[in-house]
């Protein structure tokens, strides 16, 4: 086997390794994982917003609750004095009774407010629970996808190790300067540094070679380095 035929085998190994690396980088689960991450960020933002709204309602509820307590204390205090027998003037009794009524009426309004805050809090708590559930689901999805990615990478890495091992054996049979030329061309020409002459065309650039070029290739010895006039690849003839 000519050294150029071996070079084509190196090329085949390099192409296989490129394909494996591409497959590794573009595993379908990577896109799914990224989408789950984006969705989780959105849900977290919505959850933070809902939490803040609920905290606000709860703070309002605590304020109303405290005001109801204060009103109750005040009523108890006035009624205590009223029934103690120490207040005897009708005018004072009437004034104190009127104040109790007024506080009771204000307390009744506060109790309506309390009910309203409780009603407002309920759907917010339910929404939080729902969003937390969605988030947990997304996190479970992400874990599953990370597992699948790791498995996929493991399989590809094992294949890559095999390909690299074969490539090393092949490359060892090629003179260093030819291998260096090939690698330079491969880096420049989208991964393909060597191509076979197929009929009258170069299988690298797929262009038909001029007649005089075909003649030149025919006259070349098996160990002569011939480059494609059009793409510059090493022609295996
Ligand atoms: Zn070419």
pLDDT band at 144 (very low <50, low <70, confident <90, very high): very high
Give 196 Cα–ligand 1 centroid separation in angstroms. 9
Q: What residues have CB less than 8 Å from 35, skipping those under 6 apart?
A: none
For the record, the structure tokens of 223 come out as: 């160990």
* pLDDT of 163 strictly over 90: yes
Q: How far is CA 43 from CA 124, 130, 173, in A?
A: 14, 10, 58
* Numbered ranges of CATH 1.10.287.1490 in the chain: 25-171
Give 178 Cα–ligand 1 centroid separation in angstroms. 17
Mean pLDDT for 185-207 is 95
Query: Angle at Cα 80 formed by Cα 78 and Cα 82, nearest 5°?
Result: 70
Q: What is the pLDDT of residue 110?
A: 98
Q: What is the residue-averaged pLDDT of the chain?
A: 96
Mean pLDDT for 204-226 is 91
pTM of the model: 0.75
Tell me the pLDDT tens digit for each residue of 10-51: 999 999 999 999 999 999 999 999 999 999 999 999 999 999
Q: What residues have CB less than 8 Å from 36, skipping those under 6 apart?
A: 138, 141, 142, 145
Give 198 Cα–ligand 1 centroid separation in angstroms. 11
Region 25-171: CATH code: 1.10.287.1490
Name the helix (H) or strand (E) containing 196.
strand 194-198
Q: What is the pLDDT of residue 7?
A: 97
């Amino acid at each position: 086997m000519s050294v150029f035929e071996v070079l084509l085998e190196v090329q085949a190994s390099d192409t296989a390794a490129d394909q494996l690396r591409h497959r590794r980088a573009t595993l379908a689960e990577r896109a799914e994982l990224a989408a789950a991450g984006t969705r989780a960020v959105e849900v977290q933002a919505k959850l933070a917003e809902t939490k803040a709204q609920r905290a606000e309602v709860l703070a309002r509820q605590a304020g109303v609750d405290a005001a109801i307590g204060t009103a109750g204390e005040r009523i108890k205090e006035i009624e205590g004095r009223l029934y103690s027998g120490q207040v005897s003037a009708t005018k004072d009794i009437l004034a104190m009774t009127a104040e109790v009524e007024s506080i009771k009426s204000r307390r009744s309004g506060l109790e309506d407010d309390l009910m309203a805050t409780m009603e407002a809090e309920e759907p917010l708590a339910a929404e939080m629970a729902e969003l937390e559930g969605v988030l947990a689901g997304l996190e479970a999805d992400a874990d599953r996808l990370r597992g699948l990615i790791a498995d996929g990478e493991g399989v590809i890495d094992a294949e890559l190790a095999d390909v690299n091992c074969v490539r090393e054996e092949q490359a060892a049979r090629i003179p260093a300067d030819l291998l260096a030329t090939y690698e330079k061309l491969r880096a420049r020409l989208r991964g393909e540094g060597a191509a076979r002459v197929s009929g009258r065309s170069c299988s690298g650039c797929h262009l038909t070679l001029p007649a005089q070029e075909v003649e030149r290739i025919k006259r070349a010895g098996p160990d002569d380095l011939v480059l494609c006039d059009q793409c510059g690849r090493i022609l295996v003839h």
